[in-house]
Amino acid sequence: MHPAFSVIFLTTLIGAGQGLFLALYTAQVYSTVELLPVPPSHFYVQGSAIALALLIGGLVASFFHLGHPERAWRSAARWRTSWLSREVIVLPALMGAVAVYGVVHHLNLRLKDLGFATSVDGDLALVVGAAAVALAFLLFLCTGMIYACIKFLQEWASWLTVVNYTLFGLASGFLLATAYAAYQAPALVYFFGAWTVIITLAVWVTRAASLIRNRRLKYKSTIQTAIGVRHARIVQKSQGFMGGSFNTRDFFHGAAPWLFRSIKWVFLVLVFPVPLVLLFNGMVDRSVPMLSSAFVIQYLGLLAERWYFFAQANHPQNIYYQTIS
């Protein structure tokens, strides 16, 4: 497939936004049960604002993928059948929930303001946050299933796609939370950092699993099934036209083989070992620049990862477009 940068930015930005919000909420849950020191409330407010900005950035990027962005509102219509439609509904819902979460923290609203008094600090934020957590995981599911549900794109049609989207988003978000905590709430740095290490190692395993799976794929569609002729040797002599078309542009990545192969190593280095080393040193030194650069470098690696994810998918329609003439 031809990697579209609008979709690459959409999936990486909202992944980081979802992950950051989930990190914030995790910290709040831990501090509520007194496993972590309680950070100042502006930590959650500004953190939610950053998460919201990332989600909005992703939404804006997605509009560049559309031929008719002014009709984008229509895309909520087919949520019964289309994962894309479901994503279109869940993303704004999550943005709303994250915004409310930030506002609740900012105004220090409590459940007793709504008439249910509890003894838990930040109880309303916990309730609103729980809804947002559900939406964030639902959004990971929707984003992953958009790709995983196309069964003949065999590189994508696997549960690993959903797992990878979820874990990459979490890793990116928790790493950002680590850098942000080093700046705003140093007591939480090791908490976020440890989770970042765990999630990054987990997604290292699952992404490697999907790379291995894709290397061993046997394509179900062949030139024989594509034209329905049973013969061991069939060669296309003409695709029917000598110029380009949508079919020759949108389904081939068009990169040189060496570039295509090197992108895989670029992301394997930039997403996993480099950020982990920077994260470790940044945590030891409490260095905000080092932790921030860990996030930025991993984000660049995730862009490469997403590019490779799209480029590696081999669409069966390509069988019909092998030879110009």
Partner 1 sequence: MIQLALVIDLNVCVGCHACVTSCKEWNTSGEAGYMSDDRPYGEDPTGNFFNRVQTFEVGEFPNTETVHFPKSCLHCEDPPCVPVCPTGASYKRPEDGIVLVDYDKCIGCKYCAWACPYGVREIDEHQKVMKKCTLCVDRIYDKSLPQAERKPACVMACPTNARLFGDVHDPDSEVSVAISENGGYALMPEWGTKPANHYLPRRKTRIKIHDDELMRADNPLKKEGVRPKPDVHEPSLDDVTSW
- Chain residues in the site for partner 1 (CB under 8 A): 1, 65-69, 71-72, 74-78, 81-85, 88, 146, 149-153, 220-221, 223, 225-229, 231, 233-247, 250-251, 315-318, 320-321
Minimum separation from the CB atom of position 203 to partner 1 (A): 24
* 86 vs 105 by CB, closer to partner 1: 86
* 85 vs 210 by CB, closer to partner 1: 85
* 251 vs 295 by CB, closer to partner 1: 251
* Token reading at 304: 């490469």
> Rounded CA gap, 249 and 120, in Å?
57
Dihedral, 299, 301, 304, 305 alpha carbons, nearest 10 = -90
Minimum separation from the CB atom of position 95 to partner 1 (A): 18
* 272 vs 321 by CB, closer to partner 1: 321
At residue 44, what is the residue type? Y
Minimum separation from the CB atom of position 154 to partner 1 (A): 11
The sign of the CA dihedral 86, 89, 93, 96 is: positive
Mention every residue, 6+ apart, whose C-beta is less than 8 A from residue 284.
Answer: none
CB–CB of 19/174 below 8 Å? yes
* 73 vs 258 by CB, closer to partner 1: 73
Minimum separation from the CB atom of position 83 to partner 1 (A): 7
* 152 vs 265 by CB, closer to partner 1: 152
> Rounded CA gap, 38 and 213, in Å?
44
* Token reading at 105: 């923290």
Minimum separation from the CB atom of position 312 to partner 1 (A): 14
Minimum separation from the CB atom of position 23 to partner 1 (A): 30
* 148 vs 288 by CB, closer to partner 1: 148
Q: How many CA atoms lie within 13 Å of 171's alpha carbon, on the beta-carbon side?
A: 32
Mention every residue, 6+ apart, whose C-beta is less than 8 A from residue 247.
Answer: 317, 320, 321
> Rounded CA gap, 153 and 165, in Å?
17
Nearest to 299 by CA among 279, 275, 315: 275
Minimum separation from the CB atom of position 238 to partner 1 (A): 4
